[in-house]
Structure 1
Amino acid sequence: MDAAAGRDAGEFMVVGVDGSEPSLRAVDWAADEAVLREVSLRVVYAFLWDRYEGAALARDVGRPSGPPSPREIADAGARRARARHPGLRVTADVVPEEPEHALVREGRDAAAMVVGTRGRSGLAELLLGSVSLAVAAHADCPVVVLRGSHDNQATPPVHGRVVVGVGEDVEASAAVRFAVEEARRRGVALEAVRAWRCPVHESADHPLTYGESARLHEKRAAEELDTALRHVPSDLRVYRRTVEGYARGVLLEASYRADLLVVGARRGDGHVGLQLGRVAHGLLHHSACPVVVVPDGPRDAAPGPDCGAVSLPPR
């Protein structure tokens, strides 16, 4: 298939591979998602990747006669995607460039990009690889970072819900729009959470009025949640929940009951692109399910939230 096919803006997805088992599981997930979106899949191998990660090659990529070539690694990913979904349009490309730069560029016109987690042993298995983190921080398209025990399948749903974090900027949330579309494609419920906390000075300086202050903050959070969800289609099942606590902890808890956790990332003014706040950074390292980082101001220039909260459904 011609490498240019399916390359119109938003009509293809990208998955980064490096020959490791986590990256091939990412191919599985990306293939499922591409079928859901009815777009083509582009498998990309930036062959300087091992300079950063030192990947251990998956069994179905390595050869008895020695390590595979970059082209063989890319082609192995494409074969895996086609085997999973024979009707899916798949291309494979090798880019002789630093992986974080190559993948960010490849994702400029993509509907979304999928990357796997990287870790070798012990605590490292809980942490995100440097390339995956850089791509999530700088890409112009939504980036799916696969985490959790079911990170090799987008469908069928495991928990039957997509969770989205709703931050302070609720007027035009790219993350909410992405989560709504994803929940509808999968036929599952949407959970929207807004985390809130009383400022320290209110709880410390006025302990007798803390209860009233807390109610006001919770009421404000509920109103912000309503604003963020006001355009959600009526046929979508939505759970709304305001939670007192730090956003990172609230979202991490939600990730154990979600198939997908969606958060926003604020675009910086400098050349470094998207800036991941502490909440998004922590979720990328420790979430129990795949995380999608949705940039502010995507192609329609609408602003997105600074991933601050999530909606958890009733237990």
Structure 2
Amino acid sequence: MEGTTSSLELGSVIVGVDGSASARRAVLWAAQEAVRRGRPLHVVYGADTDGRALYASAQSIEGVRVAGRELLDLTARTVKERFPGLRVDTEFSRSGPVESLHRSAGLHGTIVVGSRGIGGFGSLMLGSVGLKVAAGARTSVVIVRGAEESAETGVVLAAIRDEHDLPCARYAAREAELRKSSLRLLHVWNILQSVGEVVTLLDDVEEIASQHVHHLNAVAHRIREEFPDLSVQADAEKSVSVAGILVEATQHADLLVMGGRRSPGYLGPTLGRVTHTLVHHAHCPVQLVPRHHHEHGRQS
């Protein structure tokens, strides 16, 4: 994503359904996002019938197919009633929901999931299938959180650690442009990063703080250059809980955009501690933008 500007295209919108209230809400959020982007909405039901074929009866498998297609048809009708001009495509996948959503999104689409599922077969419950979708994605993922009828704040929030988060900030800036909102870049640094650094931090907090502000300002400067018509606010805060400050900040935002993947070198795809907290406790939808090769050795 390096080198992109305000012409950044955010890609198609793919949403997973499972029949839960949370997934229905995610569908409507995804539909609105597709309208903003001028893209079709792609609705996916991952039935995992291939995985069950060895031990489920043919009648049971057929029941899943019928129920899945009925859910897709109902979802498409509901979306078209709310968004008459939006093109809605549906996909019944024989694969599981995680594989189905990743495949449908490719490298450029945005996957949208609800914050909770119905549990059991075919669910998209964050903490199980939904969490795997977010952790293993190679493209952007949105977890739709927050109060269902909350008033819009007109703010897109981006969590920024350093200059490596410039692609994430660009993504957030484009989202803010589409919403005709302002962008808030928020950098939070932990004053007690490690036991070995405590004395240094206490002796030289001002110098360390200025270094953190420098990283934030460098990103803010680039964003203001690339998005000259966008209102950009840059804030740096120190705390013993990075996640706590970010969760609190989401009360005053319509969307949080942050780097979403712990760097390579860990066993299996996973989310860092801060990210994990946000996808479970944020007060607004959370958009996770994968980090890439330059993120070795960092956590979030």
TM-score, normalization by structure 1: 0.76
Alpha carbons 1:119, 1:128 under 8 Å: kept: yes
Task: Give the number of equivalent residue pairs.
Answer: 268
1:33 maps to 33
How far is the alpha carbon of 1:214 from its aligned partner?
1.4
1:234 maps to 228
**Matched position secondary structure for 1:234:** coil
**Matched position secondary structure for 1:81:** helix
2:215 maps to 224
Write out aligned runs for 1:1-315 (5 A): 11-48=11-48, 69-118=67-116, 128-150=126-148, 158-168=152-162, 170-171=163-164, 173-199=166-192, 200-203=195-198, 205=199, 210=202, 213-232=204-223, 233-245=227-239, 246-266=241-261, 268-269=263-264, 274-297=269-292
Give the Cα–Cα distance (whole angstroms) in 2 for the partners of residues 136 and 110 of structure 1.
15
Alpha carbons of structure 1 residues 216 and 231: separation in structure 2 relative to 1, 3 Å: same
Q: CA RMSD in A?
A: 3.1
Give the Cα–Cα distance (whole angstroms) in 2 for the partners of residues 164 and 10 of structure 1.
16
Deviations 1:204-232 (A, max 9, x none): x47xx83x611112111110001122221
**Matched position secondary structure for 2:19:** coil
Alpha carbons of structure 1 residues 19 and 238: separation in structure 2 relative to 1, 3 Å: same
1 or 2, which has the higher helix percentage?
2
Letter matched to residue 158 of structure 2: V
How far is the alpha carbon of 1:77 from its aligned partner?
1.4
Letter matched to residue 128 of structure 2: S
Give the Cα–Cα distance (whole angstroms) in 2 for the partners of residues 76 and 304 of structure 1.
44
Letter matched to residue 40 of structure 2: S
- Identity, in percent, stands at 35
Alpha carbons 1:46, 1:95 under 8 Å: kept: yes
Q: Which moved more, 1:260-269 or 1:159-168?
A: 260-269
Give the Cα–Cα distance (whole angstroms) in 2 for the partners of residues 194 and 271 of structure 1.
25
Alpha carbons 1:27, 1:80 under 8 Å: kept: no
How far is the alpha carbon of 1:265 from its aligned partner?
2.4
* Structure 2: gaps (5+ residues): 1-8, 52-63, 120-124
TM-score, normalization by structure 2: 0.79
Letter matched to residue 33 of structure 2: E
How far is the alpha carbon of 1:273 from its aligned partner?
6.8
Deviations 1:90-125 (A, max 9, x none): 11110011111211111114431110011679xxxx
Alpha carbons 2:190, 2:242 under 8 Å: kept: no
* Structure 1: gaps (5+ residues): 1-8, 52-65, 122-126, 309-315
Give the Cα–Cα distance (whole angstroms) in 2 for the partners of residues 79 and 182 of structure 1.
27
**Matched position secondary structure for 2:248:** helix
Alpha carbons of structure 1 residues 256 and 307: separation in structure 2 relative to 1, 3 Å: farther
